[in-house]
Amino acid sequence: MQIRVLFFGRLKEIVGRAEDSVDVAEGARIEDLFTRYRQLHPELAPYRPSLVASRNQEFAPWSAPLASGDEVAFLPPVSGG
């Protein structure tokens, strides 16, 4: 299944791009997708507890299953002033 992945803030800097497209297995969840990127970029690991994920522009639990064509975004916490 083809998934579009978006990275924001510091995550974009770590991964080296704002957007990616990957193939995942049937039954994959958002957590599985992040684990894949964490294995490629271990410096993502400390961000996991504070990240929010969205699927198709709606907040989603990390256990949410993925479907072909989904767009997943990983959003770090934002501070304002």
pLDDT at 77: 82
pLDDT at 26: 94
The DSSP annotation for the chain comes to -EEEEEE-THHHHHHTSSEEEEE--TT-BHHHHHHHHHHH-GGGGGGGGG-EEEETTEEE-TTPBP-TT-EEEEE------
pLDDT at 80: 53
Domain ranges for the chain, please list them: 2-75
User: What is the pTM assigned to this prediction?
Assistant: 0.93
C-beta separation of 51 from 75 below 8 A: yes
Q: Which segments in the chain show pLDDT lower than 70?
A: 79-81
CATH class given for the domain over 2-75? alpha beta
